[in-house]
């Protein structure tokens, strides 16, 4: 089965692929063959692309991680993510081909419940029909993270102060050795060195966190319980980063 050549119909096809059922526009990155749109999406908590607390610098997000479903500059090796494809092509016999996204090299990509690239390199993801016809493709690079950055109020932080009873949101972003932020969900652990001073809990919650180690999420909420100094550590495999938090006692008149 051969694909019908689109010729001057290609712009019309792209426009149709970009329109959602509600009349909006499907965001993402146009495929290398121009047949449709590849859309990046988060699968699990722990993906900086889907940061909800506005902790990470907006320009950093737009430059490296992508916005509106665009493919990021790179994903972290071992991170989970997903890609959808919006568009279709018609074969010579008039059959409309429904297309799924699959890795071109499956031995280096786990595709159960999203995708996890297991080794560094540049990979192709195909928009392919169940019969094996490839209509489009997009490249994506996978890089082993070499560092973690902690962000608060769109600034990288190594230390900051909180008033007793105050709170703050923090986000972690993995980077390569040149400072490029890497997309994809990674399992993190967050731990306070002194829960009499600060406790950590999930971002977006209210009240006093129950304490203990917070796992998986790339964003957390810090609550200052008592005056003093404590270190908050976020770790993933052999990478970790600490931030020193000084809690200033509440002054009563």
- Cα 8 to Cα 120: distance, rounded to the nearest angstrom: 38
189: left (phi over 0), alpha (psi -120 to 50) or beta: beta
More confident residue, 5 or 118: 118
Write down the pLDDT at residue 26.
64
Strand 239-248, strand 159-163: pairing: parallel
Question: In the structure, what pLDDT confidence band is assigned to residue 68 with cuts at 50, 70 and 90?
Answer: confident
Question: In the structure, what pLDDT confidence band is assigned to residue 15 with cuts at 50, 70 and 90?
Answer: very low
- Cα 169 to Cα 20: distance, rounded to the nearest angstrom: 34
- Cα 128 to Cα 186: distance, rounded to the nearest angstrom: 28
172 strand-pairing partners = 150
pLDDT for 12 beyond 60: no
Task: Show me where the domains of the chain are located.
Answer: 8-41+78-143, 147-248
The three-class DSSP label of residue 106 is helix
pLDDT for 35 beyond 60: yes
More confident residue, 146 or 56: 146
pLDDT in tens, 87-112: 877 777 777 778 899 999 888 999 88
Q: The tokens of 153 are what?
A: 């109020």
Question: Phi, psi (5° rounding) for residue 9?
Answer: -80, -10
The pLDDT mean for the chain works out to 86
pLDDT for 124 beyond 80: yes
Task: Name the CATH topology of 147-248.
Answer: Immunoglobulin-like (2.60.40)
Q: What does pTM read for this prediction?
A: 0.83
pLDDT in tens, 131-166: 888 999 999 999 999 999 999 999 999 999 999 999
The residue among 74, 53, 55, 54 whose CA lies nearest residue 63 is 74
Highest mean pLDDT among 12-16, 91-95, 129-133, 230-234: 230-234
């Amino acid at each position: 089965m051969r694909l019908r050549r689109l010729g001057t119909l290609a712009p019309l096809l792209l426009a149709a692929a970009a329109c959602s059922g509600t009349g909006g526009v499907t965001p993402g990155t146009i495929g290398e063959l121009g047949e449709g749109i590849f859309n990046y999406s988060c699968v699990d908590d722990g993906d900086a692309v889907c940061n909800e607390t506005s902790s990470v610098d907006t320009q950093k997000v737009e430059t490296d991680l992508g916005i509106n479903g665009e493919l990021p500059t790179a994903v972290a090796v071992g991170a989970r993510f997903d890609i959808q494809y919006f568009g279709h092509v018609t074969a010579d016999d008039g059959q409309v081909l429904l297309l799924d996204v699959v890795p071109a090299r499956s031995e280096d990509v786990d595709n159960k419940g999203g995708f996890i690239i297991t080794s560094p390199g540049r990979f192709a993801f195909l928009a392919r029909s169940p019969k094996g016809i490839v209509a489009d493709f997009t490249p994506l690079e996978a890089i082993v993270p070499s560092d973690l950055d902690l962000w608060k109020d769109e600034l990288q932080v190594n230390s900051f102060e909180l008033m007793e009873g105050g709170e703050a949101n923090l986000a972690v972003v993995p980077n390569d050795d040149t400072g490029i932020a890497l997309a994809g969900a990674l399992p993190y652990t967050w731990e306070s060195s002194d829960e009499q001073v600060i406790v950590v809990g999930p971002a977006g919650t209210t009240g006093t966190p129950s304490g203990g180690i917070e796992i998986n999420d790339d964003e957390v909420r810090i609550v200052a319980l008592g005056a003093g100094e404590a270190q908050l550590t976020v770790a993933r495999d052999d990478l970790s980063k600490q931030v020193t938090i000084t809690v200033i006692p509440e002054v009563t008149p």
